[in-house]
Amino acid sequence: MTELPISPYPALLVGLPILMATLSLFFRTRGEALVGLIGALLTTGLAIMAFVEVVQRGAVIHILGGWEPPLGILLRMDPLAAVFIGMTALVGVFISLYAWRYFRALETTTGGLPLFWPLWLFLWAGLNGLFLSNDLFNLFVTIEVIGICAVALAVLSGKSTALSAGLRYLLAAITGSMAYLFGVALIYGSTGTLDLGLLGQVLEPGTTTTFALLVITLGLMIKMAGFPFHFWLPPAHSSALAPVSALLSALVVKGAFYILLRLWMEVFGVSLTYAAGQFIGIAGAIAVIWGSWQAFMQTSLKLIVAHSSVAQLGYLLMVFPLLILAPGVTADSADWLSSAWTAGIYQVISHAFAKASFFLSAGIIIMALGHDRIESLRDLVGHMRITAMAIGIAGVSLIGLPPSGGFMAKWMLLKGIFLSGQWWWAPVVLAGSLLTAGYVFMLLRLAFAPAREKEPFRPVPKSLEVFALLLALGSFLIVFPADSLIQFLESSEVFGTGVESILKGGVHGNN
């Protein structure tokens, strides 16, 4: 581990947003926003530089303060982490730009809402820290930071719906963290280490490990709103302010997925059985169908988008059964692992872009109409064509139609499903696409329909519309560098691996 090249970037990626967040606390509304925006832009630039660093040098590490683990903290940036950090930066910068304009527009009505910027930058630091963490306790700290910032952001508007939704969110977040922490304690008690790399080697299968795996998975499932723990997500994500909804849906839930993926693939291989993969897959499948159906039944735009997140996260869970191999199947013979990984990564990225765009568009519509009941979307195309276009493009990516990132994800997922012989997931993927098409085109149909009465579409800053559109386009543009991106990811140790579930003890295999 320590022979990896040392680089300052991992530390900066966490430190810089914290610094700027703290700095912004010293200013009031406009000043806070300015410092915050500068912080966001700097962090984005830094993330890009760090990404390039990893592309050039491979995985890098940073040892905080020079204290070697287990005493000190080691941050590790491998290609997988770099991709997540890059995605957070790209999506985050557009949300930041949008937020800057959005809160300026709100100033006239609310007199400005303080604290968005410091909270968002702390959250960003937390996310970067999460992607870079290399031990179980650091991961706990980052998910706590993320959880607290996320809940605070969710209730920022101060409306009563947001507060009650926020309370539920808080409860879920705390329960999730506690479950996770309990699992970590069990692991620490039995092995005496928290380092992921070390744990992957020393962890013994047994009741304790299995139980720890169970509670950690449970905690993370709550955090990422995996079925049946999704109940807190729709109210919390739909009642928050637009930029916040976008952050929560596009980025925050992906953090929990990232940990789950890493822990299952790198640490808990010894305790995973084929059934465990299938079990998570079933939860994902139900989420896809149920979430899409719920989205289809909603009558307000933000609730549609929020329920859609439950479904889209379900697709992520459906990757797990493909990665946990059936007994007797070796990782070398499992030729679908790369497809499954690609499906997972592309689902994460394309959903981040598309969903951020969708929530930002919803915010624009609320700004223009004062509400988001979908029957008022009639003739949206005539009034706000850029927003209508953003919704259309982001929607197409969510459905998974070509040539979007969502298409790449669905293609690879379906291919992995067929190659692995687990054909029973295929109807879920297709039904999910059709249901998604159902609610996306329901919105588009209204957008094209003639207006019944003169709805007052208030004018909205054009730049807001443009940012939403750019994010939507992003969910398509990510397809073009796919080949290079996957080659880059393949240089990471974990990408393309599967867990061989042999009865009693397993080994990692590289594909």
Contact 165, 235 (CB under 8 A): yes
Q: What is the DSSP letter of 326?
A: P
Contact letters for another protein, residues 332-351 (x by CB under 8 A): ------xx--x---------
Q: Cβ of residue 349: shortest distance to another protein, in angstroms?
A: 12
Distance in Å, CB of 210 to another protein, minimum: 34
Residue 508 β-bridge partners: 499
The interface region with another protein, picked from 352-360, 368-376, 403-411, 499-507 by CB under 8 A, is 403-411
Tell whether residue 375 is a contact of another protein (CB under 8 A).
no
Report residue 166: phi and psi, to 5°: -65, -35
Q: Quick check: helix, strand or coil at residue 262?
A: helix
DSSP secondary structure string, 78-134?
A: -HHHHHHHHHHHHHHHHHHHHHHHHHHHHHHHHS--TTHHHHHHHHHHHHHHHHHB-
Which C-beta is closer to another protein: that of 145 or that of 394?
394
CA distance 462 to 474: 18
Q: Which of 80, 181, 286, 381 binds another protein (CB under 8 A)?
A: 381
Contact between 396 and another protein per CB under 8 A: yes
Please pick, from the candidates 211, 231, 279, 411, the single residue that binds another protein as defined by CB under 8 A: 411
Tokens of 127: 């996310």
Q: Which residue in the set 5, 189, 402, 505 belongs to the binding site for another protein (CB under 8 A)?
A: 402
Q: For another protein, what does the binding mask look like between residues 286 and 305, x meaning CB under 8 A? A: --------------------
Cβ closest to another protein, residue 77 vs residue 486: 486
Rule CB under 8 A: say whether 323 interacts with another protein: no
473 touches another protein by CB under 8 A: no
Contacts (Cβ under 8 Å, ≥6 apart) of 351: 250, 309, 312, 313, 398, 406
Site string for another protein, 162-201 (x = CB under 8 A): ----------------------------------------
The helix (run of H) or strand (run of E) holding residue 307 is helix 301-317
**Among the candidate windows 77-85, 218-226, 323-331, 441-449, which touches another protein by CB under 8 A?**
441-449
Q: Which is nearer to another protein, 231 or 411 (CB)?
A: 411
Can you name the residues that pair with 63 across neighbouring β-strands? 74
Q: What is the C-alpha radius of gyration for the chain, rounded to an integer number of angstroms? A: 22
CA distance 425 to 284: 10
User: At closest approach, how far in Å is the CB of 250 from another protein?
Assistant: 22
Instruction: State yes or no: residue 426 binds another protein (CB under 8 A).
Output: yes
Provide CB contacts within 8 A for 79, sequence distance 6+.
Answer: 54, 58, 59, 488, 489, 491, 492, 495
**465 binds another protein, rule: CB under 8 A:** no
CA dihedral 427, 410, 93, 55 (to 10 degrees): 140
Question: Taking the chain, what is the end-to-end CA distance rounded to the nearest angstrom?
Answer: 21
Of 199-207, 245-253, 269-277, 410-418, the window that binds another protein (rule: CB under 8 A) is: 410-418
Q: Is 403 in the site for another protein (CB under 8 A)?
A: yes
Interface residue list for another protein (CB under 8 A):
338-339, 342, 379, 381-382, 385, 396, 399, 401-403, 407-408, 410-412, 414-415, 418-419, 426, 430, 433-434, 437, 441, 444-445, 448-450, 479-480, 482-483, 485-486
